[in-house]
């Protein structure tokens, strides 16, 4: 009995996050996660039940969006751009979602949930009393630019995009987000 149950459990979770983020769902194997954690694969099953449930635990996720009503209306684009890039680099959860969401239906569903429950309300706060349908479109458009930037920068690693500084990336996409969220229709 080396470690406490909770310690091993969180160790497994940490290694699983790394693997899912690096390899995607299919290529991230339970055996590899177990090897990274220095334990037997059977233990992973004991603690998480199945690969699918391990995955679900690994991508529990909060965007942690700030209250957009606290920033000046013409600064929401820049504020969101900065927040997203920082959030992306803070831990690997968003990379997991992006890498796995493209082939794994459950992960894609999770991304739609994050969009609906976390991004939508922020867009609604910016929009004020605009029609609901219009707000959903605007939030979706913001998602296309944010996810596209993340895809090219962190996953596909397009040289000019992954090489540019965070501030420069923010400077470029902030006006785009500003227009999508608060600009003319």
Interface contacts to DNA, rule CB under 7 A:
1-5, 8, 28-32, 38-43, 45-46, 50-52
End-to-end CA distance of the chain: 63
Considering only 143, 170, 174, 182, the residue that binds a copy of itself (CB under 8 A) is: 143
- CB-wise, 4 or 165, nearer to DNA? 4
Interaction between residue 98 and a copy of itself (CB under 8 A): yes
In the bound complex, what is the minimum distance in angstroms from residue 30's beta carbon to DNA?
Answer: 4
Interaction between residue 164 and a copy of itself (CB under 8 A): yes
Q: How far is CA 9 from the centre of its chain?
A: 22
Interaction between residue 179 and a copy of itself (CB under 8 A): yes
Out of a copy of itself, DNA, none, what residue 137 binds, judged by CB under 5 to 8 A for its kind, is: a copy of itself
Considering only 8, 16, 18, 24, the residue that binds a copy of itself (CB under 8 A) is: 24
- 40, 90, 95, 33 alpha-carbon torsion, rounded to 10°: -10
Interaction between residue 57 and a copy of itself (CB under 8 A): no
Picking from 27, 38, 24, 28, the residue whose alpha carbon sits closest to that of residue 12 is: 38
**What one-character DSSP code corresponds to residue 120?**
H
In the bound complex, what is the minimum distance in angstroms from residue 7's beta carbon to DNA?
Answer: 7
- 48, 49, 50, 55 alpha-carbon torsion, rounded to 10°: -30
Out of a copy of itself, DNA, none, what residue 159 binds, judged by CB under 5 to 8 A for its kind, is: a copy of itself
């Amino acid at each position: 009995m080396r470690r406490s149950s909770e310690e091993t459990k969180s160790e497994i979770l940490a290694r699983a996050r790394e693997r899912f983020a690096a390899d995607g769902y299919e290529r991230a194997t339970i055996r590899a996660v177990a090897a990274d954690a220095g334990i037997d694969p059977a233990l992973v099953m004991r603690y998480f039940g199945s690969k699918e449930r391990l995955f679900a635990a690994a991508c529990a996720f909060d965007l942690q969006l700030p209250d957009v009503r606290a920033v000046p209306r013409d600064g929401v684009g820049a504020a969101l751009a900065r927040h997203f890039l920082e959030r992306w680099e803070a831990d690997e959860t968003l990379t997991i979602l992006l890498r796995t969401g493209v082939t794994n239906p459950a992960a894609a569903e999770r991304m739609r949930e994050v969009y609906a429950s976390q991004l939508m309300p922020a867009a609604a706060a910016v929009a004020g009393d605009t029609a609901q349908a219009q707000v959903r479109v605007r939030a979706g458009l913001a998602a296309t630019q944010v996810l596209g930037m993340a895809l090219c920068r962190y996953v596909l690693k397009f040289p000019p995009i992954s090489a540019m500084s965070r501030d420069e990336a923010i400077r470029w996409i902030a006006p785009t987000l500003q227009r999508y969220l608060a600009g003319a229709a």
